[in-house]
Amino acid sequence: MVDSQCKLLDYDVLLVDMDGVLWRGSEPIAENVSALKRALEQGVTVVLVTNNSTRSRRLYSFLVEKMGLPIPSDRIITSAYSAARLVSRLHGGGAHVLVIGEHGLTEEFVLEGHLVLTHSEWREADYVVAGLDRKLDYQTLSSGVMALRGGAVFVATNLDPTLPMENGVGVGSGGVISLLEKASGHHVDYVAGKPSCVMGDTLEKFVSKGKTLFIGDRVDTDMEQARMLGIDGLLLSESPIPTSEEWFCTSKNLSLLV
């Protein structure tokens, strides 16, 4: 597919990655934000999709509203929300969950009606759900390991090994997961973020609304999720990737595509 065919207004639904599309670090990417604003004004459904589990959908909705994108929290899909929905599908409500992660992850499980355990309650865990925790401590990790050795189901928010930071990279969720796997001998049972079947199930209700495009800046997560969903993909990249794939195109930004 050539870039000129990848017009945003030709789609009913846009699934949009956040980091690298809406902002880079704390800097908004103005041309992409204004293009999405125009798409919203024309009635296109915009759904934001991120592997970042540290913030809640409620907080993301507040942050993008301040940038001029009125997107309610039910159109924001984080790996934390995807993980909480997965546990609801597997268990129903009221699962006992040991969370290793930040506030955004805990909040989505509470909103889904699950019981988030304290770390001293690890014996009661039906599930260990782990993601990025920038204040991770030894006791928390050890509680997770003991719960996994005791037979809890292991859910990862995502497996991204590193986290882009202003001065290089930090340990990503995947690093935390590897540590838990190594110490418990229990391999992760489910991955909730991009790319995964679990995220595919979480996004299906939007994809079923009509012609859908996935916009992102990474081939291994965003474009792979698009391929798994059987929808078109738009990769934002400084250097275009030549492809003969009918479903895939690249562009530097979104400004020429509305």
Alpha-carbon gap, residue 101 to 117, rounded angstroms: 13
Q: By the 8 A CB rule, do 108 and 84 touch?
A: yes
Which residue's CB is nearer to Mg ion, number 164 or number 210? 164
List the end-to-end C-alpha distance of the chain, in Å, as a whole number.
Answer: 16
Q: Are strands 168-171 and 190-191 parallel, antiparallel or unpaired?
A: unpaired
Between residues 19 and 224, which has the closer beta carbon with respect to Mg ion? 19
**Amino acid identity, position 102:** E
The interface region with Mg ion, picked from 18-26, 77-85, 136-144, 163-171 by CB under 5 A, is 18-26
Q: How far is the CB of 79 from Mg ion (least distance, A)?
A: 12
Q: Which is nearer to Mg ion, 57 or 96 (CB)?
A: 57
Is 23 one of the binding residues for Mg ion (CB under 5 A)? no
Tell whether residue 126 is a contact of Mg ion (CB under 5 A): no
When asked if residue 102 is in the footprint of Mg ion (CB under 5 A), the reply is no
C-beta closer to Mg ion: residue 144 or 216: 216
What letter would DSSP give residue 76?
E
Comparing every residue's Cβ against Mg ion, the nearest one is: 20
Contact flag: residue 20 with Mg ion (CB under 5 A):
yes
| 189 contacts Mg ion (rule: CB under 5 A) | no
Q: How far is the CB of 72 from Mg ion (least distance, A)?
A: 21
199-218 positions binding Mg ion, by CB under 5 A: 217
Pick from 258, 229, 235, 257: which is nearest to 248 by CA?
235
Q: Please identify, among the stretches 5-13, 19-27, 70-78, 223-231, the one whose residues bind Mg ion according to the rule CB under 5 A.
A: 19-27
Residues in binding contact with Mg ion, number by CB under 5 A = 4
Coil, strand or helix at 132: coil
78, 108 Cβ separation under 8 angstroms: yes
b/e for 40-74, b at 16 or more Cβ within 10 A? beeebbbbbbbbbbbbbbebbbebbeebebebebe
Q: Which residues bind Mg ion (CB under 5 A)?
A: 17, 19-20, 217
